[in-house]
Chain A
């Protein structure tokens, strides 16, 4: 029915989100930096000075490698979950392909993400750790993460139309996830019997890979990478199928 240009539409929707979000903030994009910087400072204070923990070098950068992926994931997931309900006027009035809405909502967090990644890379350089050629892996691991979040957004935005408390479940899950992702502890502290399983969490896998690349100057582990890719594409396909099954009756339930 709708035979427009999905890429042009996607760009416009992302631009809309970006403009609306930052036009109403006096500090503009600085807000994107403030949250991770404040969290980094607090976590560094707690885990370096309160619970003396000297085994981890470059603790602030170490923490930031965990915070940036987690922030992106939790924000994009919760925005993606409410995207269909929030854009009720589009669902009700314009016959655009519905898949575009949750994906655009995830990608519009990408702007936010790019700012935070630049902050992370700046902090890496400021701590005296150099650039290495494994940085070429960064787009790969981040790309897989975006694929994963798009899959989550597709599935949860569809379910949220039928069960409106889904968004609160997502918010609670994000709180739990903060502790299940190695943000302020290292992977080595996890008991060996859980390690295998742990890497199936794409957010944790991304954090581990980032630390490999940025702090140890080594490529991400092949097993971690494979698990990240498998779970990400699996989630995307699952999300797509769920969304397809439910989208025809969105109109009646919004």
Chain B
């Protein structure tokens, strides 16, 4: 059963470099100016079955995050087709949707609602989320007093309790300590055993290696290589001079 499928997907973004005021609009309209476009993805195709764990690697600006944004449904492709079967839990940036002035507990509820939990589900899973985050009394402190590691723990704890079919992680596991990373890895293992899908982007090739069995190497918006994680990472390391 296919979880995520990309058919010849292309995505380009308008370059406007902050020119968002009326005078720019009027000028463009009068001169018939067309936006220059930045091609983020070109002809990307792959299919991911349920239960697969995919890591995406590549240099900065390769289009890794764009792939995740398309899977999450935050933007639409400019060409080709993206098919997603199942509920997606995105963890795209540390503490996205969190507010610094709210306490950890208040943020957990807000985030649970943002990620699509109902009132009942949020109430049921709240104790488990707090226990998983394991940040002690800080749960009642405003988020601005948190270290980035604590914020990551809380964000990850909510995302993992959404019970999604597809978990999408963008470079977020880097800030936790080893103990928390192992806890997450364990949880992701359970997640996999339940037949669920993981997609993650990271520059830490070691964490990709330990979490994923398949990898895609992207560069300049194109797929360079797609295959077993060990092979792709070896080729990628070789090409980019990693040890």
Contact = CB atoms under 8 A, between A and B. Distances in A.
Nearest to B12: A252
Contacts of B76: 248
B116 A5 contact: yes
Given A94-B114, A248-B76, A12 B20 contact: no
Contacts of B69: 251
Contacts of A91: 74
Between B90, B110, B122, the greatest number of chain A beta carbons within 10 A of the residue's beta carbon is seen for: B110
Contacts of A1: 72-73, 84, 88
Q: How large is the interface on A (under 10, 10 to 19, 20 to 34, 35 or more residues)?
A: 20 to 34
Chain B CB count within 10 A is highest, among A4, A163, A251, for: A4
Given A1-B84, A20-B102, A253-B20, A93 B90 contact: yes
B239 interface: no
A12 B109 CA distance: 7
B231 interface: no
A8 B118 contact: yes
Interface stretch (B42-50, B93-101, B207-215): B93-101
Given A5-B119, A96-B114, A252-B14, A90 B21 contact: no
Interface size class of B (residues with CB under 8 A): 35 or more
Given A5-B119, A163-B22, A89 B97 contact: yes
B101 A92 contact: no
A8 B113 contact: yes
A95 B72 contact: yes
Nearest to A19: B102
A163 B25 contact: yes
B138 interface: no
Contact of B117 (A4, A162, A165): A4
Nearest to A93: B96
Contacts, number: 97
Interface string B75-106: 11000000010011010110011010110001
A94 B72 CA distance: 8
B115 interface: yes
A253 B75 CA distance: 11
A54 interface: no
Interface of A: 1-5, 8-9, 11-13, 15-16, 19-20, 23-24, 89-96, 162-165, 248, 251-253
Given A1-B73, A24-B101, 17 more contacts: A4-B118, A8-B113, A12-B109, A16-B102, A19-B106, A23-B101, A91-B74, A92-B92, A92-B93, A94-B90, A94-B114, A95-B72, A95-B74, A164-B21, A165-B21, A251-B69, A252-B13
The 8 closest A-B pairs by CB, nearest first: A4-B116, A93-B96, A1-B73, A5-B118, A251-B75, A12-B113, A9-B113, A164-B20
